[in-house]
Amino acid sequence: MKNQTTFYRSKKDQLNKFKLLFDEISSPYDQIEIIANLLKEIRIKDQKRFISDRYLDIFESELDEILEIFEDKIIYFDPTPQY
């Protein structure tokens, strides 16, 4: 039980450190672009695992959809009116 508590505390500490670093980036577009790039890196890392140890395969289509929304509708959004 102590190891679990330590693990969750460490995870919470890591999240707080990440938030502090993330707060230094003032642009929400840049923040979303970083999140999209992190998701891509996490997927690449997960794909390198042995097939039975992969966690993200079952969410592949959902992750594709999230990345598509981030990239097409938010990061590269052009606010110029289309006439």
Q: What is the mean pLDDT of the chain?
A: 84
Quote the pLDDT of residue 8: 74
The answer, as to whether pTM is greater than 0.75, is no
Which DSSP category does 81 fall into? P
Domain that holds residue 41: 25-77
Residue 10 lies in a domain: no
Residue 65 lies in a domain: yes
Measured in degrees and rounded to the nearest 5, phi and psi for residue 41 equal -65, -40
Quote the pLDDT of residue 1: 57
Least confident range from 3-7, 47-51, 53-57: namely 3-7
For 55-78, how does the pLDDT look when each residue is reduced to its tens digit (9 = 90+)?
Answer: 888 888 888 898 888 888 887 777
* pLDDT average, residue stretch 25-35: 87
Number of structural domains in the chain? 1
Residue 14 lies in a domain: no
